[in-house]
Structure 1
Amino acid sequence: MQHILSLAYKGLRKLFFVGKYFCDCCICRVLFYLNKVKYKDISTKGIPKIMVARGGTMEIGSGFRMNNTITSNPIGCSQPCMFFVDRGAKLVIGDNTNMSQTALVCHTSINIGSHVKIGGGVCIYDTDFHSLDKVKRISVDEDFKFKKVSPVVIGDYAFIGAFTIILKGVTIGENSIIGAGSVVTKNIPANEIWGGNPAKKITTINSYPQ
């Protein structure tokens, strides 16, 4: 009896998620359209948060896939993907890139290459959000005006581990790997493995056991 009930439950669950997947894709396309996001095709589980300011630009290549729910990527991160593009800023994502529960906050420029994998809970910021000057932080206008921004670039085939934070001005080279929970504050060359807080080089890809 338990076996039969279990099979029935799993069958109904699968039907539910198939229907939800279709609805999620439709809603996501509407959100992209309303935010003037340029894209070719998408696959999404769950609904992301998208905020593209007037004058901001967001472009996504073909084969883009994302997870926005804890059921679609059960690693303990419940937030959906979030895309914020400020006025005059540009966010570009290449072909066949996948991400889960990722926050991309773009105040000037974030460029993510093709075939990149970004794990759950990753945050990528091209801004400090606030001025580093304590006097300027007192004023809302001055605080925002004097915040520092610098482009972020992630090369093709990079793999960013879950819960990593990538800060402004960072370039991650092609095919490099960032360990889970890292805080990346400086440039990473191609074909290297980095990890830690702050992230440091661990080894090169060729010397790491496959």
Structure 2
Amino acid sequence: MKLKLLFKIIFKTLRKVLQFLVKRYDKFICYIIFTGNGVCFGKFKSTGFPYMMIARRGNFTIGENFSMHNGIKGNPIGFYDKCTFFVDKDARLIIGNNVGISQAALICYKEIVIGDFVKIGGGVKIFDTDFHSLDSNIRRSKEDLKHKIKASVLIKDNAFIGAGSIILKGVAVGKNSIIGAGSVVTKSVPDNQIWAGNPARFIKEIK
């Protein structure tokens, strides 16, 4: 029993030391990724580091006290992906202050704006485009990507996007509103409401 207890103490001590070193390494790599991609950012903390591609003339801004989990280690709810940030040329991705995000993908071809104190759950995907033309004849041609529809996405202050949800182009999620896990949001959600489902629909008011 004493030997098992000793091993347990040694294991926990080594794990704490390793976690400390890994956190410092993750933050250093994130700093390089942010700086190399021309991101304007404030104070942040990160578990792991993201995949990021910012085109020339793309604008990506992150506010203060940003928290990010990449992979399952930081948020063990079953999503293993890194956070993914893509900003096309002349597009704008703005993340406000005190935002938390886990294993999510933000794909911006026009504009995605996220307010302050927003929580974005594990595996969430936010797209401001259809990626391809809705016309099947155009999709068969080399002109396909030139004809994709783009529309801005706005996530207002204090919103909470549940794990595994998808926010589609042209959608606004209202202040204080909640999107239930696994929802597909195809139209705008007013302030102070809970929506859920595929497609997401009104559930109840938040009082």
* 1:185 counterpart residue number: 186
Identical amino acids, percent of aligned pairs: 50
2: CA distance, partners of 1:203 / 1:154: 19
Q: How far did residue 133 of structure 1 move? A: 0.5
Where does residue 205 of structure 1 map in the other structure?
Answer: 206
1:135 counterpart (129, 134, 137)? 137
Give ranges in structure 2 of 5+ residues lacking alignment: none
For 1:30 and 1:175, locate their aligned partners in 2 and report how far apart those are by CA, in whole Å.
33
Deviations 1:85-122 (A, max 9, x none): 00110000000000000100000000000000000000
Q: CA deviation at 1:14?
A: 1.5
- The whole-number CA distance in structure 1 between the counterparts of 2:6 and 2:136 is 65
Gaps of 5+ in 1: none
Report Cα offsets for 1:101-159 as digits up to 9, x if no partner.
0100000000000000000000000000010110111123x111100110000000000
**1: CA distance between counterparts of 2:9 and 2:198?**
45
Give matches, 1:64-75, under 5 Å: 64-75=66-77
Aligned residues: 205
> Which structure 2 residues correspond to residues 155-170 of structure 1 after superposition, within 5 A?
155-170=156-171
Aligned to 1:106: 108
> 1:165 deviation in Å?
0.3
In structure 2, what residue type is equivalent to 1:168?
A: K
Paired amino acid for 2:166: I
Distance 1:95 1:62 in 2: 5
Deviation at 1:5, TM superposition (A): 1.3
* Amino acid aligned to 2:113: N
Q: Which residue of 2 aligns with 1:97?
A: 99
Residue 144 of structure 2 aligns to a residue whose secondary structure is helix
Partner residue, 2:148: 147
Secondary structure (helix, strand or coil) at the match of 1:14 reads helix
Say whether 1:31 aligns with 2:42: no
What TM-score does the superposition give when structure 2 sets the normalisation length? 0.97
Q: Which 4+ stretches in 1 moved above 3 angstroms? A: none
Residue in 1 that maps onto 2:43:
41
Counterpart of 1:123 in structure 2 is 125
RMSD: 0.7
